[in-house]
Structure 1
Amino acid sequence: MRRSPQSPGSHWRKSSYTSDAEELCVEFRPTPDRRIAVRDSKARAQGTCTFAPGAWAAFVRAIQERDTLA
């Protein structure tokens, strides 16, 4: 994981786990170097963290698998 400035040119997407009240919201988007930028929607000024595509895919897969066990 590395911290990076926000990348221009792509749209932020909200996590499907965002509540209706948007109390806990994570947003993500691809960066020009094909990494995934992640930010807290309530603290956008704090910048983003970026992840390699494989690390992001493993994270999403782990969340999906967790949900099938619940």
Structure 2
Amino acid sequence: MQMNTIPDASTLTAWRKSSYSNNGDGACIEVSDGHPGRVPVRDSKTPHGPALVFTADRWSAFVAAVKEGDLRA
């Protein structure tokens, strides 16, 4: 599977933190809305760093797996 990235994701707008993030320790991911068919994802601690870009269907599958508890360490 090919992974796309955005080297400096700070130029994107409408970032929102995951509702599953723990705001106490800063371990958050953010997604950027408004990109049809694509979902940019970044680490909230490095807003000027890179973002991974997933297709909307791959991102939906990942979110569904998290909600179902299918991603155990």
Q: Could you tell me which of 53, 58, 66 is aligned with 1:55?
A: 58
Distance, in Å, in 2 between the alignment partners of 1:66 and 1:50 is 23
- In the other structure, the counterpart of 2:19 is 16
- In the other structure, the counterpart of 1:3 is 5
The answer to whether the 8 A contact 1:13-1:29 is kept is yes
Query: How many residues are treated as equivalent by the alignment?
Result: 66
Provide, for residues 30-68 of structure 1, a one-character-per-residue CA deviation record: whole Å limited to 9, x for no partner. 35343000000101121211000110000000000008x
Q: Could you tell me which of 56, 62, 69 is aligned with 1:66?
A: 69
TM-score for both structures, normalised by structure 1 = 0.77
Q: Following superposition, which runs of at least 4 residues in structure 1 exceed 2 angstroms of deviation?
A: 5-8, 30-34
Confirm or deny that 1:39 pairs with 2:42.
yes
The answer to whether the 8 A contact 1:14-1:25 is kept is yes
RMSD: 2.0
CA-CA distance at 1:26 after TM superposition: 0.2
- 1:25-36 matches, within 5 Å, as 25-36=28-39
Distance, in Å, in 2 between the alignment partners of 1:43 and 1:58 is 25
What code does the residue aligned with 2:4 have? R
Query: Which structure carries more helix by proportion?
Result: 1
